[in-house]
Each structure stands twice: as structure tokens, then as C-alpha cells.
């Protein structure tokens, strides 16, 4: 009887540790200050969700805000809703392009410790041009994560 109780205890301990180490649900980042009607709808949908963060228009870099929002979390996929142009990810007052992405390398590298899956960029144009393909490759190299454009 003691052996059975001991075995059940070990199984429960193993299961609880496995669950603690598995990623939480997806996390959503929403850009701010947009005139895009679709982005405004996304902002409203995720306004008070615990698995979402809305970029604020402050002096703090949007990428620093994302690092802080992810701090202490383990998430499966990171969904980012923001304005974009071919080859550009636009966070309110900051645009990330292939020309300035290396300035963000330390912040992007920090995402890897929280995100276990992919970074999903919700855009219809961000990675559609040669400049966009180059930006995508650079983001993947600097972060160690796979970036996917979701339309």
C-alpha cells in the first residue's frame, strides 16, 4: 500500500512539474496610436485581457515595453498586431527596418527566453518585398525565433 501511495505521489509531482514548465497560452501585443480601423478593433478586443499588452505612447521604446510585458512569462506564440509597410514594422513612433534592426538586437534576444513557439506578425505586407524578406531573416537571426506573417 505504501508503495502504491509513493508511486502516485511521484506521478503527481512529475505531472505538476511538467505543467509548470510548459508554455502558457499565446500572448498578444497590440500597437498603439493607429488610424487603422482593424487595429483599433484588435485594441478594443484585447484591452483588458491578461494575456495581452497594448504598446503605450511613451518615451519608453516599444521593444522595451514588450520585453517588460513578457518578463516572467512563458508563452507559446507571440502575436503582434501593428501597422506595417513592406519591409517595416511600425510601433507608434518607431519603425523597425533592415537598416536599424541591429540596434534592437539585445531586446530581441530577450524574447527567446519567454517565447517557445513563433512570433506571428499580423500584417498583409510586412515581409512581402525583398526588404521585408531581409528584415524577417534579420529578426529571426537576432531573436532566435521564427517570424511568420499572418494575414
Region 29-34: mean pLDDT is 70
DSSP label of 24 = B
Using 50, 70 and 90 to split pLDDT, how confident is the model at 51? confident
> Residue 134 and residue 132: Cα distance in Å, rounded?
5
Partnered with residue 121 across adjacent β-strands are 80, 149
> Could you tell me which residue, 12 or 40, shows the higher pLDDT?
40
What pLDDT shows up at residue 80? Answer: 92
What pLDDT shows up at residue 5? Answer: 34
Q: Global pTM?
A: 0.78
Region 53-66: mean pLDDT is 85
Topology of 23-150 in CATH?
Rossmann fold (3.40.50)
> Could you tell me which residue, 43 or 125, shows the higher pLDDT?
125
Nine-digit cell string for 1 = 500500500
> Could you tell me which residue, 55 or 22, shows the higher pLDDT?
55
Domain ranges in the chain?
A: 23-150
What pLDDT shows up at residue 60? Answer: 84
> Could you tell me which residue, 12 or 118, shows the higher pLDDT?
118
Q: What is the DSSP string of 86-118?
A: TTEEEETTEEE-TTTGGGGHHHHHHHTTTBSSE
pLDDT in tens, 101-138: 999 999 999 999 999 999 999 988 999 999 999 999 99
Region 90-106: mean pLDDT is 90
Buried b / exposed e along 61-70 (16+ C-beta atoms within 10 A): bbbebbbebb
What pLDDT shows up at residue 7? Answer: 37
Amino acid at each position: 500500500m505504501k508503495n502504491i501511495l509513493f508511486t502516485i505521489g511521484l506521478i503527481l509531482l512529475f505531472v505538476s512539474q511538467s505543467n509548470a514548465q510548459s508554455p502558457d497560452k499565446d500572448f498578444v501585443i497590440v500597437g498603439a496610436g493607429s488610424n487603422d480601423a482593424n487595429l483599433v478593433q484588435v485594441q478594443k478586443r484585447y484591452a483588458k485581457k491578461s494575456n495581452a499588452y497594448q504598446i503605450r505612447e511613451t518615451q519608453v521604446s516599444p521593444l522595451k515595453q514588450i520585453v517588460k510585458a513578457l518578463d516572467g512569462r512563458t508563452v507559446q506564440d507571440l502575436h503582434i498586431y501593428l501597422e506595417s509597410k513592406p519591409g517595416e514594422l511600425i510601433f507608434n513612433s518607431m519603425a523597425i527596418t533592415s537598416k536599424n534592426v541591429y540596434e534592437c538586437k539585445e531586446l530581441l534576444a530577450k524574447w527567446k527566453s519567454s517565447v517557445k513557439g513563433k512570433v506571428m506578425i499580423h500584417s498583409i505586407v510586412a515581409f512581402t518585398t525583398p526588404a521585408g524578406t531581409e528584415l524577417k531573416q534579420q529578426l529571426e537571426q537576432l531573436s532566435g525565433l521564427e517570424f511568420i506573417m499572418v494575414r
